[in-house]
Every structure is written in structure tokens, then in C-alpha cells.
Amino acid sequence: MARRVVITGAGTVNPLGSNTGATFDSLARGHCAIGPLDIPDVDRLKIKIGAQVRDWRPEDHFEARHLPLLDRAAQFALVSAAEALAQAGPGIPLAQAGCILGTAGGGLTTIDDNYKTVYQAGKDRVHPLVVPRLMPSAPVSQISLTHGLQGPCFTVSSACSSSNHAIGLAFQMVRSGMAPAMLAGGAEAMLCFGGLKAWEALRVMSPDGCRPFSADRNGMVQGEGAAVFVLEEREAALARGAHVLAEVLGFSMTSDAADIVLPSQEGAERVMRLALQDAGIAPDAIGYINAHGTGTAANDRIEAAAIRGVFGDHGPAVSSTKSQHGHLIGATGAVELLACLMALNGQIAPTASVQDCDPDCALDLVVGTARKADVSAVLTNSFAFGGLSACLVLGPSDR
Amino acid sequence: MNTIGKQVAMILSLRSGLNLSDIRMDQSLRDLGVDSLVLVETIFELEETFDIVVPFNANEAENSGLETVGSVIALVEQLVMKRAA
């Protein structure tokens, strides 16, 4: 029999805050963490804004002897995992538990730094731990080592859907009984010169802000950070007295098989319907959708049409919190799941920076400030380059 | 067609897969089969060939001045002149 799966812990480091409390506060205020980029060689970039984790001091979190092994993404992931496990409390069978994280760039900053060392600075030697530091699976392995997780541990990479795939797979493992508990989420840190050069070449980045579904939107803005959640079997969580944050009700994943960059309306509708079907609920049970909402002309128009296709012209409240924390690429779904938890607690995070909604994106868009709402189920969308889509449906803790 | 025009037409021919002789000044890039991805590749090639910077954001493509073969050539000529000035 399929087990019910609940979330009992959450942790994060992202541009809105270096823990969940600060992030919830920022989300509720509609705070925009996008600003001028503070990175080396920014003057050579055309796109000079981003959502950075500012004032990050690794030495506050890690011993100096450990830092050579920890790319920025791994640092964010480890701090997030520690917060999530602390919140989940004692009694989780960690030796049987696992960890799945999503990332798109892996240790891209480490790669960038070391290419500079050998190609630009002309040195013939790099630090001996470059490989275990840059490997995309490093954050998962570091979490496994730190907390003694001996179950299924690996990284998934599906561009902007990576986190939703990671959380969805962890959900399925707990639901099927393969693992009693899983840590899942995503980590990303590619706000480096090389990473941003590649992105700006695509000509989809905004030079001045992320305004999803807005009439004057002109592209996406990149962010960085991580979020990690503890998923476990509901009965076991209740038996050990854990505080349940939400229940994971359903998951879907599909591929459009249509275009390497453009999303497909038909594909977006299909993956949302499959998530509802997996959750066993009707469209009208959803009270909030955390949209993929990148702020690009194409995504937002197609996603809005797909939402109307599934939910009708009077569908649920929608927001894109990328307007606040930027697009964390492989970690974005994980940070956006925090906005879903907030919605289940009665407060919908707004889409920031929107003055006039695009008539072509007709939705019940929450803008400006948070909206109070009694939400019984939420849907969160991730639609990645390559047509790889993944949706999660969450319900309240006491369903 | 001047030298710049011929070079631009050559790039569009290669990118679209059409014969050079089939490329006309009044044709839209859409009619040449230039989709969004081919367009950014074409712009990159124009920038590399002529040592120019083409201001282009795919989210505002309709106002880019890159609608037809003729308008692409005119924009490149303008940017080459600006570079030389």
C-alpha cells in the first residue's frame, strides 16, 4: 500500500534570507533581492544584475580545513540540510535515509575559477581537491557524510526542473517504501563570470529586473542558493512526535519532445493534469499555484495559457516568486516550495515588481503584497529548457 | 548589393539552409525559417564577422529592427559605421 509522505523539516540559504524564517518574512513583504552583481569582472558583462546571497561568510559555518572541498553550492546545501534536519527533530532513521538534490551548474564557480588559473593566469597546477569540489554530486555527498545518510543518495540535473525532479523522486521513494525518509531539494551557485557570460549569450536575460506576467517584462534574472526538505513517511513522523509542515500529495514529470528552449502549452497542461491525477484531486481543489514564471516573453504567455487550459478562466491564485529571489535554475523549485508552505499556512507570496499585468497572461496574479487565503492544496510548476517539466502538489499538514 | 549586404545574405543563407540566390531583401526572417534560436546564432555570427555589438533581447524581438533581410543589412551597416566613427 502506498504510504503518505509528509514534510517535517525545511532549510534554506537564498537571496531572500539565510534561513527559512528570514525567507518567509521576505516573501511575505514582497521583498525583491535582485540588485547589482558584486562579482569579479562584472564590468565585462552586459547583464549586471542578479539575486545574490549577500554577506555570505563561509567561515561562519565551516571549519577552514573543510572549505577547500566545498563549492559555494555545497556550502548552501549543507547549511540548508542542517536547518531542515534540526527542524525535523530527533528520531529519523538516518542510516536508512537518503538525499536527492537538483542542480544545473554543479560546481560551476569552481570550474570557472580553475579555468582562470590554468588558462588566464597560466599556472600549471590547481588545488588537488578541485574534482571532488566541482562534481555536481558533491553537495549530496557532503550532506550524506555529515549526517550519516546511507540510503539512496544522488544528484539530478534537468536544468530548471532539477529540484522538482529531486523532490518528486524522493517523494516516490518514501511513498513506495524504498526509503523511510529522504532529504531533497536543490543547490545552485553559478553567478560567476563564465556562468553569466553563457546565459547572457542566449539573449533572454533582463538588464533591469524580473517582472513575471507583467506587460513590460523583458527577461529572467539569475539567482543562487539552496533549499532542502525532510520528507518522511507520515505515520512514522507522527509516531516520533514530529511537527508536520505539509503533505506531499502528488508528482508528475514529462518531456515535451518539442523544442530545446521553448515551452509547449500542451506539454505544460499535460504535466499539471498528471500531477493533479497523481494527487487524486480535482483542479478546483488547488488554491495556489507557484508558477514557473520566469519573466520571459515566451514562458509566461505559454504558462498562463496552460494554467487557463487546466483551471479555466477563474483559476486559483498564482504568483511567481522568481520576482523576489531570482531564478535559481536547478535550485529554483526547492526555494519556491517554501512559498508553497507559506501558502498552506494562509499567506500567498506576491509577484514583486509588477505594475501592469500582461492581458495575454490573464490570471489571478498576486502582486505587490502577500494575500491572506485559506488554501487547501498547492501546485508548483517547473518547466525547464529541453521541455523537461516537473510539478508537485502539496496539501496541509492535517489533511 | 554592397559587400556588407552580400556577407549578411551569405550568413542568412547558411543559417536558414536556403540558396543565396533565393534570399531577397524584402523577405522576413520568419519566412526564411529563422526561429528564435537560429536568430540568436545569426546575431552572434554577425557580431563576430563585423566586430559589432547588436543590441538584442529575445523578449523584445518585435522591436529589434531585425524583421527582414533588408532591415538586418541596414542595421549591420549602421553598426559598422558607428564602430568606425
* Per-domain residue ranges of chain A: 7-239, 248-386
A238 grid coordinates: 507522527
Q: Same CATH topology for A7-239 and A248-386? A: yes
CB B59 within 8 A of CB A219: yes
Of A203, A207, A296, the CB nearest to B40: A203
Chain A nearest-CA distance from B63, in A, is 12
Mutation site, B52, B59, B60, interface A, largest A CB count within 10 A: B59
Distance CA A8, CA A12 (A): 14
Distance CA B54, CA B52 (A): 6
Say what the ipTM of the complex is.
0.89
A374 grid coordinates: 485559506
Alpha helices for chain A (secondary structure H): 20-29, 72-88, 108-115, 130-134, 138-147, 162-176, 193-201, 234-239, 265-279, 297-311, 322-325, 332-344
Taking an 8 Å cut-off on Cβ atoms, the answer to whether B36 and A207 are in contact is no
Chain A nearest-CA distance from B61, in A, is 9
A45 touches chain B (CB under 8 A): no
Determine the pLDDT at residue B1.
72
For the CA atoms of A262, A316, A28, A10, the dihedral, rounded to the nearest 10 degrees, stands at -70
Angstrom CA distances, A152 to A68, A73, A144, A155, A392, stand at 26, 20, 10, 10, 20
In A, residues 296-335, which contact B (CB 8 Å cutoff)? Answer: 296-298
In A, residues 257-276, which contact B (CB 8 Å cutoff)? Answer: 260-262
A198 touches chain B (CB under 8 A): no
CATH tag, A7-239: 3.40.47.10
Taking an 8 Å cut-off on Cβ atoms, the answer to whether B58 and A206 are in contact is no
A118 touches chain B (CB under 8 A): no
B56 touches chain A (CB under 8 A): yes
Please work out, in degrees rounded to the nearest 5, the angle formed at the alpha carbon of residue A382 by the alpha carbons of B33 and A212: 75
**Number of separate domains in chain B:** 1
B63 touches chain A (CB under 8 A): no
Known active-site residue A292: yes
**Is the model's pLDDT at B65 over the cut of 90?**
no
Distance CA A344, CA A379 (A): 11
Chain A nearest-CA distance from B77, in A, is 21
Distance CA A379, CA A10 (A): 18
Known active-site residue A160: yes
Known active-site residue A147: no
Distance CA A368, CA A359 (A): 18
**Domain at B37, CATH number:** 1.10.1200.10
Determine the pLDDT at residue A1.
64
For the CA atoms of A281, A283, A284, A289, the dihedral, rounded to the nearest 10 degrees, stands at 110
CB A325 within 8 A of CB A51: yes
Looking up cell 546564432 gives: B41
Q: Distance between terminal CA atoms of chain A?
A: 19
CB A343 within 8 A of CB A337: no
Chain A nearest-CA distance from B84, in A, is 21
B37 chain-A contacts, CB cut-off 8 A? 260-261
Taking an 8 Å cut-off on Cβ atoms, the answer to whether B57 and A261 are in contact is no
Report which of A367, A353, A321, A129 is spatially closest to residue A227, judged by C-alpha positions.
A321
Of the candidates A31, A147, A165, A292, the residue annotated as catalytic is A292
CA A177 to mean position of chain CA atoms: 25
Taking an 8 Å cut-off on Cβ atoms, the answer to whether B60 and A218 are in contact is yes
Chain A nearest-CA distance from B25, in A, is 25
Taking an 8 Å cut-off on Cβ atoms, the answer to whether A219 and B57 are in contact is yes
Supply the range of the domain harboring residue B14.
3-84
Instruction: Choose the CATH number for A248-386 among 3.30.70.260, 3.30.450.40, 3.30.420.40, 3.40.47.10.
Output: 3.40.47.10
| B61: nearest CA partner in chain A | A297
From first to last of the 399 residues of chain A, give the pLDDT tens digit: 689 999 999 999 999 999 999 999 999 999 999 999 999 999 999 999 999 999 999 999 999 999 999 999 999 999 999 999 999 999 999 999 999 999 999 999 999 999 999 999 999 999 999 999 999 999 999 999 999 999 999 999 999 999 999 999 999 999 999 999 999 999 999 999 999 999 999 999 999 999 999 999 999 999 999 999 999 999 999 999 999 999 999 999 999 999 999 999 999 999 999 999 999 999 999 999 999 999 999 999 999 999 999 999 999 999 999 999 999 999 999 999 999 999 999 999 999 999 999 999 999 999 999 999 999 999 999 999 999 999 999 999 987
